[in-house]
Amino acid sequence: MKIRVERDGLADAVAWVARSLPSRPPVPVLGGVLLDAGSPDGEPGDALTVSGFDYEVSATVGVPATIADGGRTLVSGRLLADITKALPNHPVEISVDGSRMTISCGSARFSLPTMPVEDYPQLPVMPQLVGELAGEVFGEAVSQVAVAAGKDDTLPMLTGVRVEIGGGKLTLVATDRFRLAMREFPWEPNEALDETAVLVPAKTLADAAKTLGVSGGRVELSLAANDGLLGLSGAGRRTTTRLLDADFPKYRQLLPSEHSSAAIIDVDPLVQAVKRVSLVAERGTQVRLEFVEGGLRLSAGGDDEGSAEEELRVEYTGEPVTIAFNPTYLLEGVSAVRTPRAHLSFTTPSRPALLKPVDEDGNVAPGYIYLLMPVRLPG
Amino acid sequence: MGRSAGLPRGLADRFRAVDGRWPDDTGCPVLHVDMDAFYASVEIRERPELREVPVVVGGVGHRGVVCSANYLARTFGVRSAMPTAHARRLAPHAVFLPPSFGLYQEISRGVMEIFRDISPLVEPLSLDEAFVDVSGSLRRLRTTPAAIGAQIRARVEAEHGITCSVGVGPTKFLAKLASGMCKPDGMMVVPRAEVTAFLHPLPVSALWGVGKRTAEQLERIGLDTVADIAATPLPRLRRVLGVAQAEHLHALSRGRDDRRVEPESREKSVGAEETFETDHHDRGVLRRELLRLSERSAGTLRARGLRGRTVSIKVRFADFTTITRSRTLPVATDVTREVFGTACTLLDEHVPPGAVRLIGVRVEQLVAGDDTGEQLMFDAPERGWREAEQAADQARSKFGSAAVRPASLLSAAPERSGEPAPRPDHP
């Protein structure tokens, strides 16, 4: 193999592929990046494809290149990413001779050992295209929802984002049992598709949505629900991920149908105030929200660790009430509504509270909810 | 555990409380309260038929050690921390019992509560001993330190059916020495004016911080008693012992001890561990042990009103390589079930197969439960495991540690060294 490629294109491609590689690969080849030059599988015009795969997630991206001699080779992904990031801004020449790969750029030269390509797993085939949507919309929706996904691997069904397709809409939902985030928007799949729901690892989905949803681009969604595979592509990048084989909790019944108290809150002042008072909330203990007519008093801490309080003006309707939340969960929720004002509603201090976006006219905007369980105050 | 360093008999009697009379206790605000042969006394309280026999509490297996022995057993030379096998040779006819830590903790808690009724300045040293500074309570209670000591002794016996010994003195060091010298079931007062008379005849080993090695060093330069040390110029002591220890011992020998009674410092972690009788490969056995240890750790958390966010396990293999692995929970817990679940996950995911000698569970990053709210969950019922376990705690405190336990622990592995044995003779 002997090729010539632009430095920036190569560095971006390798960095993007390497970020999905496992940090401690169970076998060395799974920590590798596959360089494939002149393969007939490549996109037209992209003579070089850069790929990674660890049996869970695959990532493939094409890079324009000049091929003197085609071929495939496998090298350590982490090392190649570090090297290409640090290369000077000159064309890069890559050649493989025997079991070593040489990278030349300007006056810099690297020689890396290669790993046997024969030991590398077959990259999954991109599943059937389901439809496409604006990259920005998808990126925002995923990040609004993935924030509520669990991080505890012992409860795998909670580490995913449930993706529901059907009834003319796309629904994304995630919960870690303490909060639940749900985003819905109208969407028509390309072909008539049966209603379907899959569970996608939240971290992978969030990473992919962030990097694929670059401005103006479209994201293509592909699905092979029976094979347990989801594909996403956009901006020349393709990624697949295994679906989680676990039952997502029955969440619809959790959504409250009514509330007795509601407040419209300016998000930014609330975020600032919660961050301030929770400085004394030791190890993530609660911040208390005391709602009275026209006002909200935030407080946290106690005699031992110090205490803090702060008052905010809010539009509040309902009986005076004190409700407490984990400050991190509250902050993540009010930040996820993505509007300058948020609507917070609840019934009692031990029942779930609901955060929703508020539009410019002061009305609740449909499409997103963040449901948050309070902290029961001691005593 | 009291020091057995003895005073000349006549001298000891001078300080001992007898028939409600005691020496002048003015300016002696520090009490050291020490349960007499605590674990053994508790076991005897549970089974009065053991009252007249030597009783040894400890690991019953071949790696077990003695935790406690009653005074009858001690007359045969049985001591704490000696291998149980050795104790068996010394006192073959003694009754050997495995410890029931849950019960000891329960009683210890009750005893410490008695102290806290009297003064907030209670510094527990272990389950069975504590310092109490009563200086702030004298006026309120219109009493004297030794009268409080007598009252504590009476209440502990009346409420818990075990005896304790109390040392009363101007400093922690003197109070502790005194309690050790009036055991069992006694009280001794070291009057402020007679500190020197009390202290100086004692051997150097009576001083806090003097072990076997230091005692030998001191003997080599001809210092046998506390009086000898008090009379030695400090520079000479420094040359032999080093600056820090010389100054420390010199101060003690003159009755000076600046340590204050520090009320219970906030614990950093709570845990329990177990050395197996024989090494175990079987994950089922290891998991059962984790359940038992999780129950003990979480029970301690509940009893002390604490919750912890991080659960760790420690595993020592047959070759003594030891690993610890931990995981931080989203919400601090005191629930046995959560501690156990996390411990099992750690075992399954991070512990390679192999013969295990010791296994332990620890809960860290503690917060006080009473100012920690409880993060509610969508799917949790209003009353959950915490409430069930609290109810079980109450049952255990009434009926003993075997009253309520997880079903999987009922057919307890027999070959453990420190296992609270099932008690069929218990209600």
Q: What percent of chain B has pLDDT over 90?
A: 40
Mean pLDDT, rounded, for B253-275: 81
One domain for residues B298 and B246: no
Q: Mean pLDDT: which of B5-9, B273-277, B278-282, B403-407 is highest?
A: B278-282
Domain assignment present for B335 = yes
pLDDT at B426: 37
Question: Cβ-count burial of B258 within 10 angstroms (0-12 exposed, 13-18 middle, 19+ buried)?
Answer: exposed
One domain for residues B144 and B214: no
**Any idea which residue has 């046998």 for tokens?**
B224
One domain for residues B49 and B161: yes
Size of interface A-B (CB pairs under 8 A): 61
One domain for residues B248 and B296: no
Query: Contact, A234 vs A220, CB < 8 A?
Result: yes
- A122 interfacial to chain B (CB closer than 8 Å): no
**Domains held by chain B: number:** 3
**Would the pLDDT of B20 be above 90?**
no
Domain assignment present for B320 = yes
Q: Give pTM, 2 decimals.
A: 0.63
One domain for residues B284 and B380: yes
- A189 interfacial to chain B (CB closer than 8 Å): no
Nearest to A285 among B330, B342, B373 (CB): B373
Cβ separation A178–B375 shorter than 8 A: yes
**Would the pLDDT of A326 be above 80?**
yes
One domain for residues B81 and B160: yes
Mean pLDDT, rounded, for B291-316: 90
From B128, B151, B169, give the residue that closes a domain.
Answer: B169
**Would the pLDDT of B423 be above 80?**
no
Query: Contact, A308 vs A280, CB < 8 A?
Result: yes
One domain for residues B129 and B54: yes
Sheet architecture: strand order including B55-58: B66-69, B55-58, B95-97
The angle subtended at Cα A94 by Cα A92 and Cα A98, nearest 5°, is: 165
B159 is catalytic: no
Cβ separation A302–B309 shorter than 8 A: no
Best probe of the A interface among B309, B339, B375, by most A CBs < 10 A, is B375
One domain for residues B30 and B165: yes
CATH number of the domain residue B293 falls in: 3.30.1490.100
Query: What range defines the domain where residue B94 resides?
Result: 22-169
From B228, B253, B278, give the residue that closes a domain.
Answer: B253
Cis peptide leading into residue B184 (ω within 30°): yes
pLDDT tens profile B178-214: 999 998 899 999 999 999 999 999 999 888 888 888 8
pLDDT at B416: 45
What is residue B2's three-state secondary structure?
Answer: coil
Cβ separation A374–B330 shorter than 8 A: no
One domain for residues B280 and B249: no
CATH number of the domain residue B165 falls in: 3.30.70.270
Side-chain-side CA neighbours of A113 within 13 Å: the count stands at: 4
Domain assignment present for B238 = yes
Mean pLDDT, rounded, for A269-295: 89
pLDDT at B3: 42
Nearest to B378 among A254, A304, A377 (CB): A254
DSSP E strand boundaries for B198-340? 269-280, 306-317, 322-333
pLDDT tens profile A201-253: 999 999 988 888 766 788 999 998 888 999 999 888 999 999 999 899 999 98
pLDDT tens profile B138-162: 888 889 999 999 999 999 999 999 9
Cα B375 to Cα A375: distance, rounded to the nearest angstrom? 4
Pick the catalytic residue from B43, B106, B129, B277: B129
What is the residue type of A245? Answer: D
CATH number of the domain residue B204 falls in: 1.10.150.20
One domain for residues B96 and B145: yes
Q: At what angle do helices B212-220 and B234-241 cross, to 10 degrees?
A: 130
Chain A residues closer than 8 Å to B337 by CB: none
Q: What percent of chain A has pLDDT over 70?
A: 96
Helix (H) or strand (E) holding B175: helix B172-181
pLDDT tens profile B373-419: 788 888 765 556 777 777 777 777 666 666 677 777 765 544 444 44
Q: Tell me the pLDDT of chain A averaged across its residues.
A: 91
